[in-house]
A and B are shown apart, each in its own frame.
Chain A
């Protein structure tokens, strides 16, 4: 074990995967000597050479297209998209080409698209979005949203070994902020297994990605007031671990669903409807969704703090739920 930041753990995951499997290679805008805009691929070009770490033109569509073709032809490409926001310029490649390929032709398309996403860094509407819901709707894609360094490494290694196209959304605010002990060498965290980050019997909070940390903060505060909130970190949205999610909810009968992306049509809507359809009998109070405001992401710190979900909103919701 050694202590790593979230960003370092991702780099280590890439290193281990590249060492373990010759077919794994990475490419994208500025990923070479520069190491990508967040420095995540720094040093990999020295270790693995230009064949396996390659700068590309500013061409997301061509980058994802290459990944799809190379995967079909037997490699395990791990392209980096500089900001998840810019994957829109490759949207057709992702949803029309990669996603239905295996369904149509039986051919596996093992690619992992790494993309920093999320807000809190005051970088505005084009560098802060959480876009997972846009892809959540599309059959054929897997979606991973790690919240801790160990998970980031372990989920990345599993994603690279997976035979389907995986979108790997890294939260850029966690890159340098979060650190913990991470297992050395090969480390796998299976896709589709949620984890209970904190247990509690009064109310369940279901979330993923950076919001896990917000939830834990709120849970700590609630505990001082005698409310025990269980925090479920989904880790992957597709496949979705319904069992852990519903199991926790059946224990507490009260649920908050939290995500950073805006509410309308978000992943939370699906989670809430699953709970209502599959465990209606267990509901002691109406489920609550907490999400960002329904606006593009603003830059001004005052506006962005108001835009993003807050620990206070979670605390208030939990109190309302237990008193319902």
Chain B
């Protein structure tokens, strides 16, 4: 089996009729998509151009380029008190759920005032006060923790939902299967979003699974499963919103597989020579941000001026955040032993 056997889904932005969105909301989604892309482009640029003897970013960037629609669309379907149990390509969801570019750069630059106090870097962060569980490297390891959060909310009679994204690679971990089964048995209010970007580092999906759609597995747990176009932010939003509503009503978890493509290396250090060029070219034509912008302009009466002013605003925000984070102090050695 070669990469060409991967099923492609034609780009047809879902109509938002099921869940009506206002013009402002449609533009806000655009803002988060572009904010994610612009911020991550900046991270990539810094990683590739920085002085390695005195780096600004410690370590590498793990970016969501090309698959921002999943993270943004899914997080946009959450409400105030809901939780996020993120994966490592969920910058969009972090931004939607309230992390600011300043906080993100502080984290990437390992500054003393970063949310991890410089103890951790890049996408390894979270903040329980924002109801975001911190991502941990062990792939899929947050899925059972997401269940626990859902259990606690039910225990207290709260009607909130946990969004639990993970990758196609992570879906091979035993703990993920345990968590899905456990969530189904307990009818937990968790929405599992599986980002199928067709690669786990260098290993193509054909070497990871024999099923065409990973959502097929849901049937084995007795939960709702659906495979959708992960490059359509509205389709993601709509599908996750349905699942969130179902979970909130106490009808149990869902597994939503979002098909997409990782449009960069595994990290900023990876030249991804193992991905066939034509595969990337095909997916590039379906860029989630370009497609969404076209939809806004052609079908929703939003003008180019409006989208451009969003872009300008974002440029300003990113530059300001960068300057701010750069100027902040580094941790002191003794901070290692400070109790949190």
Residues of A within 8 A of B (CB): 29-30, 32-34, 37, 55-59, 61-62, 85-86, 88-89, 122-127, 293, 295-296, 298-303, 305-307
Q: Closest CB of chain B to A13's CB: distance in Å?
A: 23
Q: Closest CB of chain B to A313's CB: distance in Å?
A: 13
Q: Closest CB of chain B to A291's CB: distance in Å?
A: 14
Contact A305 B333 (CB under 8 A): yes
Contact A58 B202 (CB under 8 A): no
Q: Closest CB of chain A to B184's CB: distance in Å?
A: 21
Instruction: Determine which residue in A57, A89, A123, A306 has the highest number of CB atoms from chain B within 10 A of its CB, and name it.
Output: A57
Say whether, besides A30-B201, A85-B137, A302-B331, A122 and B58 are in contact (CB < 8 Å). yes
Contact B118 A302 (CB under 8 A): yes
Q: Closest CB of chain B to A72's CB: distance in Å?
A: 21
Contact A306 B334 (CB under 8 A): yes
Say whether, besides A30-B202, A305-B333, A126 and B136 are in contact (CB < 8 Å). yes
Contact A30 B124 (CB under 8 A): no
B139 within 8 A of partner (CB): yes
Contact A57 B208 (CB under 8 A): yes
B138 within 8 A of partner (CB): yes
Contact B172 A58 (CB under 8 A): yes
Contact B119 A300 (CB under 8 A): yes
Contact B121 A59 (CB under 8 A): no
Smallest Cβ-Cβ distance to B121: which chain A residue = A299
B317 within 8 A of partner (CB): no
B200 within 8 A of partner (CB): yes
Other 20 A-B pairs with CB < 8 A, given A30-B203, A302-B333:
A29-B201, A30-B202, A32-B202, A33-B274, A55-B203, A57-B169, A57-B203, A57-B207, A58-B139, A62-B174, A86-B137, A89-B141, A122-B58, A124-B121, A125-B124, A126-B138, A293-B337, A299-B59, A299-B116, A301-B110
Instruction: Determine which residue in A58, A89, A302, A305 has the highest number of CB atoms from chain B within 10 A of its CB, and name it.
Output: A58
Per the bound structure, the CA–CA distance linking A37 and B110 in Å amounts to 24
Q: Report 27 cross-chain contacts, Cβ distance below 8 Å, ordered by A residue.
A: A30-B203, A34-B201, A37-B201, A55-B203, A57-B172, A57-B209, A58-B172, A58-B208, A59-B172, A89-B138, A89-B173, A89-B174, A89-B175, A122-B58, A122-B59, A124-B59, A125-B124, A298-B119, A299-B58, A299-B110, A299-B118, A299-B121, A302-B330, A302-B332, A303-B119, A303-B333, A306-B336
Per the bound structure, the CA–CA distance linking A46 and B137 in Å amounts to 31
Per the bound structure, the CA–CA distance linking A72 and B309 in Å amounts to 66
B335 within 8 A of partner (CB): yes
Per the bound structure, the CA–CA distance linking A85 and B139 in Å amounts to 12
Q: Closest CB of chain A to B86's CB: distance in Å?
A: 15
Q: Closest CB of chain A to B52's CB: distance in Å?
A: 11
Residues of B within 8 A of A (CB): 58-59, 110, 116, 118-121, 124, 136-139, 141, 169-170, 172-175, 200-203, 207-209, 274, 330-337
Smallest Cβ-Cβ distance to B201: which chain A residue = A30
Which residues of the partner chain B approach A37 to less than 8 Å between Cβ atoms? 201
Smallest Cβ-Cβ distance to B124: which chain A residue = A124
Contact A33 B120 (CB under 8 A): no
Which residues of the partner chain A approach B330 to less than 8 Å between Cβ atoms? 300, 302
Q: Closest CB of chain A to B138's CB: distance in Å?
A: 6
Q: Closest CB of chain B to A67's CB: distance in Å?
A: 16
Per the bound structure, the CA–CA distance linking A300 and B203 in Å amounts to 30
Contact B202 A34 (CB under 8 A): yes
| CB < 8 Å neighbour of A58 from B58, B59, B200, B333 | B200
Which residues of the partner chain B approach A29 to less than 8 Å between Cβ atoms? 200-201, 203
Smallest Cβ-Cβ distance to B110: which chain A residue = A300
Instruction: Determine which residue in A85, A127, A300 has the highest number of CB atoms from chain B within 10 A of its CB, and name it.
Output: A300
Which residues of the partner chain A approach B119 to less than 8 Å between Cβ atoms? 124-125, 296, 298-300, 303
Contact B172 A34 (CB under 8 A): no
| CB < 8 Å neighbour of A307 from B110, B124, B138, B336 | B336
Contact B201 A306 (CB under 8 A): no
Contact B174 A303 (CB under 8 A): no
Per the bound structure, the CA–CA distance linking A303 and B121 in Å amounts to 12
Smallest Cβ-Cβ distance to B171: which chain A residue = A58
Which residues of the partner chain A approach B138 to less than 8 Å between Cβ atoms? 85-86, 88-89, 126
Which residues of the partner chain A approach B209 to less than 8 Å between Cβ atoms? 57
Q: Closest CB of chain A to B159's CB: distance in Å?
A: 33
Per the bound structure, the CA–CA distance linking A181 and B59 in Å amounts to 31
Smallest Cβ-Cβ distance to B200: which chain A residue = A58
Which residues of the partner chain B approach A34 to less than 8 Å between Cβ atoms? 201-203, 274
Which residues of the partner chain A approach B137 to less than 8 Å between Cβ atoms? 85-86, 124, 126-127
Per the bound structure, the CA–CA distance linking A295 and B207 in Å amounts to 37
Which residues of the partner chain A approach B274 to less than 8 Å between Cβ atoms? 33-34
Per the bound structure, the CA–CA distance linking A62 and B169 in Å amounts to 14
Instruction: Determine which residue in B118, B209, B336 has the highest number of CB atoms from chain A within 10 A of its CB, and name it.
Output: B336
Per the bound structure, the CA–CA distance linking A89 and B174 in Å amounts to 8
Contact B58 A301 (CB under 8 A): yes
Contact B120 A125 (CB under 8 A): yes
Contact A58 B331 (CB under 8 A): no
Smallest Cβ-Cβ distance to A60: which chain B residue = B173
Q: Closest CB of chain B to A27's CB: distance in Å?
A: 11
Contact B120 A124 (CB under 8 A): yes
Which residues of the partner chain B approach A30 to less than 8 Å between Cβ atoms? 200-203
Q: Closest CB of chain B to A4's CB: distance in Å?
A: 23
Which residues of the partner chain B approach A86 to less than 8 Å between Cβ atoms? 137-138
Which residues of the partner chain B approach A125 to less than 8 Å between Cβ atoms? 119-120, 124
Per the bound structure, the CA–CA distance linking A293 and B338 in Å amounts to 12
Among all A-B residue pairs, the 9 with the closest Cβ atoms: A126-B137, A34-B202, A306-B333, A300-B118, A57-B172, A58-B169, A300-B110, A299-B121, A298-B119
Contact A299 B120 (CB under 8 A): yes
Per the bound structure, the CA–CA distance linking A290 and B60 in Å amounts to 31
Which residues of the partner chain B approach A59 to less than 8 Å between Cβ atoms? 172-174
Per the bound structure, the CA–CA distance linking A238 and B59 in Å amounts to 34
